[in-house]
Amino acid sequence: MRINVTRSSMPDFEEYMEALRPLWESRWLTNMGANHEELAKQLCKYLKVENVSLFVNGHMGLEMTLQAMGLKGEVITTPFTFASTTHAIVRNGLKPVFCDIESDHYTMDASKIEDLITPDTCAIVPVHVYGSVCDVESIDRIAKDHGLKVIYDAAHAFGVRYKDRGIGSYGDASMFSFHATKVFHTIEGGCVATDDDALMDRLWMLKDFGIRDEETVDGIGANAKMNEFCAVMGLCNLRHIDEEIEKRRHVFERYRADLSGIKGLGVLQAQADVKQNYAYFPIVVEDDFGQDRQKIVDVLKENDIYVRKYFYPLTSDFDCYRGEYDSSRTPVARHIAERVLTLPMSADLNINDVDRICDIIRSCGGKG
């Protein structure tokens, strides 16, 4: 049977249908309905954050947060991420300035941020990539010293805690994605977590065309609201999220046990003081593995197993940005992007399949 890199978790069909039933009565299908409000409330509690603003998807949450802050100029960010992070910056008329990543967890290398700050810098947009926690303390301190906003792309980091705090409570705002492929999902969806009430107010308007009330439109917004069918999916999935993460932990730990100690194969290491969510299992195929990553991709594919070069290429190397950025300035990011693979990861991935995947990977190695 085909094994994909992700497989969406879903509640029982009946559970979802039952939760949808009241909508046939109320006919309130979108525009901040009862389920939308209930989901926002429950998410604040689960994520351990002050407030969340729900969105049609994570990307619009990030894009509108940058808009709501009225930022101008340069934004320091990472090229080792999904297209969304960089596009959200550029689509706001801002200029991304790419900071290199560190080689253990692939998050922004905080020691390299200050060299990139200019009089035009207005914000830092780091990514908790694969659910690994950025150096939030250094980043927040640098931001404070230089009067910069910090907006975390926490798309991968649902439920992650650092020093027992919700990861979304760091910085000025954090965006979580609830896309179907993420640890927690609402089919499509996302949220922005912040304790800034003025920002919450701006986001509320911007995601509804900038409409404040029936006769006042004081923001150039768009439509980025979460509908009730998605909110209900979220409420159902949230009931089972701890179970889901626990199942992911088993898969993750099996991978780590199977793949540790193989020459030339880097696996993600645990971080101190972090409660993980086991969102992804990336491996880095170093040169001394003896075979490049394409060989692993091909052999797994012959076995109906599909992995991803996630993230490759770096966003700074995208065709749409050709000639604008120089990825040789982020050598660690480039090194990782050229060697990384993310392996199949989902709550219901069978342990025997994990072993089989790892056997295949091991058999590829050491053959020059």
Footprint on this chain of ligand PLP (rule: CB under 6 A): 57-59, 81-82, 84-85, 127, 153, 155-156, 177, 179, 190
Nearer to ligand PLP, 52 or 358 (CB): 52
Rounded to a whole number of angstroms, the minimum distance from the CB of residue 155 to ligand PLP is: 3
Rounded to a whole number of angstroms, the minimum distance from the CB of residue 43 to ligand PLP is: 14
Rounded to a whole number of angstroms, the minimum distance from the CB of residue 277 to ligand PLP is: 13
Nearer to ligand PLP, 85 or 346 (CB): 85
Nearer to ligand PLP, 88 or 265 (CB): 88
Q: What is the DSSP string of 109-171?
A: -GGGTGGG--TTEEEEE-B-GGGPPP-HHHHHHHHHHHT-EEEEE-TT-TT-EETTEEGGGSS
For residue 273, give both structure tokens. 């003081």
Nearer to ligand PLP, 80 or 204 (CB): 80
Rounded to a whole number of angstroms, the minimum distance from the CB of residue 182 to ligand PLP is: 6
Q: How far is CA 240 from the centre of its chain?
A: 20
Nearer to ligand PLP, 128 or 254 (CB): 128
Sign of CA dihedral 175, 272, 46, 10: positive
Nearer to ligand PLP, 81 or 227 (CB): 81
Nearer to ligand PLP, 230 or 251 (CB): 230
Q: How far is CA 149 from the centre of its chain?
A: 19
Whether omega for the bond prior to residue 126 falls within 30 degrees of 0, making it cis, is no
Identify any residues that bridge with 194 across adjacent strands, giving them in sequence order: 51
Whether omega for the bond prior to residue 13 falls within 30 degrees of 0, making it cis, is no
Nearer to ligand PLP, 54 or 205 (CB): 54
Rounded to a whole number of angstroms, the minimum distance from the CB of residue 100 to ligand PLP is: 17
CB closest to ligand PLP, residue no? 58
For residue 159, give both structure tokens. 């439920």
Nearer to ligand PLP, 152 or 289 (CB): 152
With beta carbons less than 8 A apart as the criterion, state whether 95 and 76 touch.
no
Q: What is the DSSP string of 24-55?
A: HHH---SSS-HHHHHHHHHHHHHHT-SEEEEE
Q: How far is CA 212 from the centre of its chain?
A: 30
74 SS3 class? strand
Rounded to a whole number of angstroms, the minimum distance from the CB of residue 44 to ligand PLP is: 19
For residue 263, give both structure tokens. 């020459």
Rounded to a whole number of angstroms, the minimum distance from the CB of residue 78 to ligand PLP is: 9
353 φ, ψ (degrees, to nearest 5): -70, -35
Q: How many CB atoms lie within 10 A of CB 256?
A: 15
User: 228: closest CA among 2, 36, 25?
Assistant: 36
Rounded to a whole number of angstroms, the minimum distance from the CB of residue 158 to ligand PLP is: 11
Rounded to a whole number of angstroms, the minimum distance from the CB of residue 337 to ligand PLP is: 14
Give dist(CA 160, CA 233) in Å, integer: 21
